[in-house]
Amino acid sequence: MADIVKPKSANLALSKDGVQGLVDLWLASQTPATAKTYRVALGDFARAVGREIETAVELLLAGRGTANAMALAYKVNMTDRKLASATVNLRLSTLRSLVDHARRLDLVDWCDGPG
């Protein structure tokens, strides 16, 4: 697996250290309660896809198709674990929030959410 995600801007490169920085910045922009909830959700996502958090986020940001496939697999995983629909929705919205944050920083040029 590549150690670099190629972002929209050619002069930026999101290394694994950069992924952690992105996650830290994203969490710091949230209220403490939301940041705690997002940390739990991100950890659960990484475990569900069998990766470390940094690698899972790197893959999530690699492209729309990959992100959608990962989110769908994660949703199936949570449904199979019989998690409440509110929990499933919260954890999927966590992924959307992170991707939107990366888009606002020009690290990805796609996003399913509103501009």
pTM above 0.85, yes or no: no
| Contact criterion met (CB below 8 Å) for 20 and 54 | yes
**Nearest by Cα to 13 from 108, 95, 96:** 108
Between helices 85-104 and 53-60, what is the axis angle to 10°? Answer: 70
Q: How many CB atoms lie within 10 A of CB 112?
A: 13
| Contact criterion met (CB below 8 Å) for 50 and 37 | no
Does residue 5 have a pLDDT over 50? no
Digit-coded pLDDT (tens) for 65-103: 999 999 999 999 999 999 999 999 999 999 999 999 999
Residue 14: strand pairing partners: 5
